[in-house]
Amino acid sequence: MTPNTDDRIASVIRALNEVILPHLPPEASLALEQGQLAIGHLQILRAQLDHVPAFEAEELADAKAIGTELAGGVTGGKATAGAIATLHAAVIASLPAGDAPAARKQRQAIHDAIEALVRAVAVDGDAAGKSALHGIILTMELARSQKDRKWFAPFGFDTI
Amino acid sequence: MATTALTRPSADTEMEAVYARILNRRRDNRLLPPYRAAKNEDVVDLLTRYFVAEQPGATVSAVRRVGGGASKEQFFFTLTTPDGNAEQFVLRMDPREAITETDRRREFEILEAIRSTVPAPRPRWLDADGAHFGQPAVIMDVVRGVTKPSDAGIKVSGLGTFLGADLRAKLRDQFLDYLVAIHGFDWRNAHLPSYEIPDADPKQAARWTFNYWRDLWRVDEGETRPIMALAEQWLADNQPDTGDLTMTHGDYRTGNYLFDEDTGKITALLDWELARVGDFHEDLGWTLMQIFGCWEDGKFRASDLFGREEFITEYERRSGRTVNRETLHYYDVMASWKCYIITAANGMAAARNEHNHQDVLLTFLATADAMFADDLCRLLAREPRA
């Protein structure tokens, strides 16, 4: 396809940088700040664009992995068992191939189910279940957050 | 628009009345149309009409927007009275939704009360409910100074400011002494009618903070992730006692004070909007956040001023208080949890609803939430309590 997405974003950046911002008066401080941020944001989006599908696929895979671990490792009473069943259903839900919005929705459904499981375990989880919940979430979320930090490092807040 | 009351049946949902109102306002405002950044000419008109009543015969001039910051719309202006006296002020105005939703009346009260204790801008006029300005607003005296060195380069919202050795040496004692002074402030004898005191039981201070931020997360429909769910449950289960209720600033860090770049003298402490009577450990946990500090040669300095242990021991020495490490750990966790809520839920909701004057800044800031998730993993791994 011509023009490709990268060329289109690059042209927007160039227009902002070389045509629009230089013509803003110095007193238009908010417009200048927002323009610079827009350029920075677009530059990062441009660099990440080709990697977004793989990143989001990995996000979903990680959500399924932690959901599977929790569904198999956490024990407790009736509330916990019910939350595990909901989580299991969210993990195994089938997804049309290449449907990015559906993938994001499934990832969020798994995370919502994990949140419900955390609350249920607080109600009637047993000691082993609480320990498993804590250990699995900390271990797997640490790995996930490291990936997220690298992904967002270009924004300049992080020292990773 | 009708205000829908939150269901507040128990200690699980209790909080200061002003914060319950803020949550209601936040929820009700979601359906309002997009917010447009105020234009200079509109602000000139608003101010001119305001001072017709407040200062008859005075004229408004030199209106210009204040740069930086992530929360409020701010404008410098000059007010000239009929006798020719010209003074500069700053108008601080809420957008329709902010990354931190707060109350201008409380800000006005604490500024008026505390500026005899620490340097802070003098508040002059208040439009608490936005009757005149359309949005809640406060007008304050202008204090000279900068929030970062002029050679610090462009950083978003003053986060992670690098001060350098010379300024660090000049600022660090003042920074810590003023924090000690805030915590020693005699709030019991101050005129702070909007502030409620969490003294019903020892856990009420922690509970009020937790309840507000948890409900704010839900009002703004934060997209949850497992570590946030675990952190919320941990914070609910481990609320510490507060032994000594103190005034807290709520956002005490480099970037939120003005200083004279030549002398290194702090001229004003800013951004009092999150101030409350609570637990001083809450301020310490916030100040020690990594995102507000600097790393150099593998060593961390909070606000680029103190190493973590140095900050804690110096605080103890100067304040005479004992820092309870378990309580500090609780507020370390809470600080990262709050930052995640601010960036991932509050800022994103404001941008999503087109209710802020700098949406692109808010979505830019949201990318920091991965750091806070990482902080939570490390902090909760340190002490795996129930």
Tell me: pLDDT of B84 over 70. Answer: yes
Q: How far apart are the first and last CA of chain B?
A: 43
Residues A99, A45 within the same domain: no
Domain presence at residue A41: yes
Residues A30, A89 within the same domain: no
Domain presence at residue A141: yes
Residues A74, A102 within the same domain: yes
Dist. CA B253–CA B178, nearest whole Å = 11
Residue B90 phi, psi (nearest 5): -125, 130
CA distances (Å), origin A2, targets A5, A6, A8, A50: 8, 10, 10, 16
SS3 per-residue string spanning A8-47: HHHHHHHHHHHHHHHHCCCCCHHHHHHHHHHHHHHHHHHH
Give tens-digit pLDDT for A119-156: 999 999 999 999 999 999 999 999 999 999 999 999 98
Put simply, the answer to whether B226 touches A152 (Cβ < 8 Å) is no
Q: Residue A95 is part of which domain span?
A: 52-155
How many domains would you assign to chain A? 2
Residues A117, A148 within the same domain: yes
Q: What angle do CA B363, B364, B369 make, to 5 degrees?
A: 85
Residues A17, A86 within the same domain: no
**Average pLDDT, integer, range A89-101:** 88
Residues A18, A77 within the same domain: no
Element (H, E) at B349: helix B348-352
Nearest to B250 by CA among B107, B69, B72: B107
Residues A132, A84 within the same domain: yes
Domain boundary among A32, A51, A70: A51
Tell me: pLDDT of A18 over 90. Answer: yes
Q: Distance between alpha carbon B311 and the CA centroid of its chain, in Å?
A: 21
pTM, two decimals, is 0.93
Q: Is there a contact between B156 and B364 (Cβ–Cβ < 8 Å)?
A: yes
Q: Give B259's strand partners.
A: B146, B266
Which residue of B72, B367, B379 to mutate against A (max A Cβ within 10 Å)?
Answer: B367
Domain presence at residue A127: yes
Q: Supply the pLDDT for residue B385.
A: 38
Please give the CATH superfamily to which domain B17-33+145-382 belongs.
Aminoglycoside phosphotransferase (APH), C-terminal lobe (3.90.1200.10)
Q: Supply the pLDDT for residue B153.
A: 60
Tell me: pLDDT of B377 over 60. Answer: yes
Give tens-digit pLDDT for B145-198: 999 888 766 555 556 778 989 999 999 999 999 999 999 999 999 999 999 999
Residue B268 phi, psi (nearest 5): -165, 140
Give tens-digit pLDDT for B241-296: 999 999 999 999 999 999 999 999 999 999 999 999 999 999 999 999 988 998 88
Put simply, the answer to whether B295 touches A159 (Cβ < 8 Å) is yes
Give tens-digit pLDDT for B8-24: 446 788 999 999 999 99
**3-class DSSP state for residue B129?**
coil
Work out the pLDDT band at A2, boundaries 50, 70, 90: confident
Q: Is there a contact between B81 and B55 (Cβ–Cβ < 8 Å)?
A: yes
Work out the pLDDT band at A42, boundaries 50, 70, 90: very high
Put simply, the answer to whether A29 touches B361 (Cβ < 8 Å) is no
Domain presence at residue A147: yes
Residue B159 phi, psi (nearest 5): -80, 140
Which residue of A30, A42, A43 to mutate against B (max B Cβ within 10 Å)?
Answer: A30
Residues A128, A70 within the same domain: yes
Residue among A138, A148, A149 whose CB faces B381 most closely: A138
Lowest mean pLDDT among A75-84, B273-282, B360-369: B360-369
The token duo for B128 is 């608490």
Residues A80, A112 within the same domain: yes
Tell me: pLDDT of A28 over 80. Answer: yes
Residues A142, A67 within the same domain: yes
Element (H, E) at B1: none
Dist. CA A148–CA B234, nearest whole Å = 23
Residues A21, A71 within the same domain: no
Q: Supply the pLDDT for residue B386.
A: 34
Tell me the pairing of strands B86-93 and B73-80.
antiparallel
The token duo for B239 is 């609320």
Residues A103, A118 within the same domain: yes
**Average pLDDT, integer, range B309-323:** 97
Higher pLDDT residue, A82 or B69? Answer: A82
Domain presence at residue A160: no
